[in-house]
Amino acid sequence: MQANRIGISSLTGWFVILVGFAIAGGVAWWQAADLWRDYKISRNYEIADDARISNGECKTRKFIFTDCSATIIAPDGARTRVEMMFVDMHTGDYETGVVRSREDARLLTLELGVEKISDRILIFLAFVGGFAALGIAGFAMLLKASRLKRAVAEPVVMRPVVAKVLTQARTWLNQTIKYEYSLDGKTRKATSVLKKKETPFFLDTEERQVLAVVPQTTSTPILLDAGLEMLDLTDQERTAVRAAVSPVQDDIRVDRSTRW
């Protein structure tokens, strides 16, 4: 048979790519230059008593994420704007001075930035790496959607599988169902998207087990909706599927009542 829809949104994939790489690039643009300068200074520095700090400010978000900014005025009047981000459980104000590199006196920064350099590098790598990984996951989603579309472009044998719902989230546009299933002796996880008013084809009254099909040429499932509109079926075929599954639903209810 063929599929009318595959339950994987290419639009979602592109959105994930855009958000992931945009945030990763934004954090890199915001922090990379300051971090590199402060790292060079941290290797060999001294207190710069002849420099001044102007417009210094630190803000703490979520109790631990702190970002600070300030303008450093050098003895010759040159101004350097510094930005930094780190994790700290500190409460109250920060006291800091200005330091300069012994190797290049033009490089100035806050002493606070040098003291937190290791923490800043880790936070930078975590943010940039994490959101870049999100963008890569978006690419993987697009590739999976492309492979699945090719698999069902022509009529193909589909294997039915019983899947266990892990999470189900509904938005104003659609709903996302994460589930796990067994195929060829391996337990796998997948995510499918249904329309907002659609419901999965549940196999039990607790709505934890759902019916999916896996095209023979791939291991990616297509989660079926209650109306069986995901597959290219006739009305008679849909009626036959529901009739075939009804005894299974009854058996599940009997088994669970027996255990209780």
Q: State mean pLDDT over 218-242.
A: 90
Domain C-terminal end among 106, 141, 176 = 141
Q: What is the pLDDT of residue 244?
A: 83
Residue 1 in any domain: the answer is no
Q: What is the pLDDT of residue 151?
A: 82
Q: State mean pLDDT over 84-109.
A: 88
Identify whether residues 77 and 191 lie together within a single domain. Answer: no
Residue 42 in any domain: the answer is yes
- Check pLDDT > 80 for residue 258: no
> Could you tell me if 166 and 55 are in contact, meaning their C-beta atoms sit under 8 angstroms apart?
no
Domain C-terminal end among 111, 141, 171 = 141
pLDDT band at 70 (very low <50, low <70, confident <90, very high): very high
Euclidean distance between CA atoms 227 and 95, whole angstroms: 65
Residue 146 in any domain: the answer is no
- Count how many domains the chain has: 2
**160: domain range?**
156-259
Q: State mean pLDDT over 24-36.
A: 93
Identify whether residues 37 and 120 lie together within a single domain. Answer: yes
Identify whether residues 19 and 121 lie together within a single domain. Answer: yes
Question: 20-29, 55-64, 184-193: which has the highest mean pLDDT?
Answer: 20-29
Identify whether residues 161 and 131 lie together within a single domain. Answer: no
Identify whether residues 219 and 116 lie together within a single domain. Answer: no
